[in-house]
Amino acid sequence: MEAYLDNAATTRAFDSVKNIMTEVLVSDYGNPSSLHSKGVQAERYIKDAKEIISKSLKADPKEIIFTSGGTESNNMALIGTAFANKRSGNHIITTRIEHPSVHNPLLFLEENGFRVTYVPVDNEGKVIQEELLNAVCDDTILVSIMYVNNEIGSVQNIAEISKGIKEKKPNILFHVDAIQAYGKYTIYPKREGIDLLSISGHKIHGPKGVGVLYVRDKVKIKPIIFGGEQQKGMRSGTENVPGIAGLGQAVKLIYKDHEAKISHLYSLKEMLISEVSKIEGITVNATSSDTRLTAPHIVSVSFEGIRSEVLLHALEERHVYVSSGSACASNHPQLSGTLKAIGVKKELLDSTLRFSFSVETTQEEIEFTINVLNELVPILRRYQRH
């Protein structure tokens, strides 16, 4: 038996995603910018995908820009907005638990004359709204906040935050990194007061190398990639037609019977939390009195006295695949900023694993994982570093 519980890192592509991509790669392989019929044929895939995605967001197709993935969407949202609005101010607000693809572009902007305020979160991983609103000033041009945290699954109250900041300063732009949220939540940017929204394909059973940046109509941002003026000059480069077609397909499927899918995820989450809590010396991080207030697919657990990497490899030997902290941060030996920010004890920082599910995860996989954990944890605790 195998249990792939690393779906916040990436997911298996749906079969129909593979099929449509193969079709584009070998049959309808034209360049959408070409004037002949092969080009038109390719362009149709982009139009279709745009239609599906904009519908899922209750947005207009012209508000959709295709990118190379979540990282590029975040970079474009932040750098593009900052550079387009620097006359109005140089201040940006974000949180202390953002993904590196938000955090690092902000460091770049700091080197280029912008000022960034990093608002703290409480121990459930929720932004302290009062501090956030206090940070808003005349110079604030942009607020960037992640919808669902990739390491602990905390969920921000996006609509409320938007309302708060816009009441204080109406022309602030609001960017939401929804890479872990899209496909899990129904997100309508206009209803929730979102100006820019980042989406990634491979977190929702679509292909890697493709993502979306939603840019609300009338919002001005500058491109960060220059070239042949594709996508109205906002994002040059021949469109990744197979990727875009695959993404469209994934979105179509992920939002089908959506409620049933999500309650399946929550039932897995509840099961894992209740079983894992029976093991001695473990802490489930960023829990809430109501699990349904946290993301349906992410559980962060600290195992006292075991290094996460060791447990991870021991699980791997038994074909249980998980991440330590966040996969994006775990290739570096550095410890997670998010876990620190929610007040995880220092000695547990390097003892934390992330379990993450997808709609394809089964109850059996969770049961299997629990059994393996029950077996391994006591053995591994016998041998500790001194």
Considering only 130, 139, 229, 316, the residue that binds another protein (CB under 8 A) is 316
**Residue from the set 65, 314, 353, 377 that interacts with another protein by CB under 8 A:** 314
CA quadruple 291, 294, 297, 299: dihedral positive or negative? negative
Nearest to another protein of 119, 322 (CB atom): 322
Q: Hey, which residues between 363 and 382 contact another protein (CB under 8 A)?
A: 382
Please give the sequence-ordered ranges of beta strands (E in DSSP) within the chain, or none if there are none. Answer: 3-4, 64-67, 91-95, 115-119, 140-146, 173-177, 196-200, 211-215, 282-285, 298-303, 320-321, 323-324, 352-356
Pick 289 or 331: Cβ nearer another protein: 331
Between residues 86 and 318, which has the closer beta carbon with respect to another protein? 318
Is residue 153 classed as helix, strand or coil in its secondary structure? coil
- What residues pair up with 198 in beta bridges, in sequence order? 177, 213
Compute the residue count for the chain. 386
The verdict on 2 binding another protein (CB under 8 A) reads no
Contact status: 51 vs another protein (CB under 8 A) = no
Minimum gap (Å) between residue 313 Cβ and another protein? 3
Phi, psi (5° rounding) for residue 80? -60, -40
**How far, rounded to the nearest angstrom, does the alpha carbon of residue 207 sit from its chain's CA centroid?**
15
Q: Residue 133, by phi and psi: left (phi above 0), alpha (psi -120 to 50) or beta?
A: alpha
Q: How far is CA 133 from CA 90, 115, 127, 168, 367, in A?
A: 17, 16, 11, 8, 44
C-beta closer to another protein: residue 2 or 317 = 317
Greatest CA separation found in the chain? 69
Determine, following the binding rule CB under 8 A, whether residue 346 of this chain makes contact with another protein.
Answer: no
Structure tokens at 237: 């480069």
Least distance CB 77 / another protein (angstroms): 31
Query: Taking CB under 8 A as the rule, does residue 218 contact another protein?
Result: no
Among the listed residues 12, 313, 319, 345, the single contact to another protein using CB under 8 A: 313
- Nearest approach, Cβ of 385 to another protein (angstroms)? 6
322 in contact with another protein (CB under 8 A):
no
* 383: contact with another protein by CB under 8 A: yes
Which contiguous run of DSSP H or E holds residue 103? helix 100-111
CA distance 61 to 341: 38
Q: For another protein, which is the closer residue by CB, 309 or 367?
A: 309
* Nearest residue (CB) to another protein, 304 versus 309: 309
Q: Could you say which of 84, 225, 328, 335 is catalytic?
A: 328
* Minimum gap (Å) between residue 124 Cβ and another protein: 31
CA–CA separation, 117 and 134 (whole Å)? 11
Q: Say whether residue 312 binds another protein (CB under 8 A).
A: yes
Stretch that binds another protein, among 202-210, 214-222, 315-323, 341-349 (CB under 8 A): 315-323
Binding status of residue 386 toward another protein by CB under 8 A: yes
Q: What's 251-298 look like in SS3? A: HHHHCCCHHHHHHHHHHHHHHHHHHHCCCCCEEEECCCCCHHHCCCCE
Out of 219, 311, 329, 342, the only residue in the binding site for another protein (CB under 8 A) is: 311
Closest approach of another protein to the CB of residue 341, in Å:
23
Residue 328 catalytic?
yes
Q: How large is the C-alpha radius of gyration of the chain?
A: 21
Piece in contact with another protein (CB under 8 A), picked from 29-37, 151-159, 252-260, 307-315: 307-315
Residues that bind another protein (CB under 8 A): 309-317, 332-333, 382-383, 385-386
Catalytic residues: 328
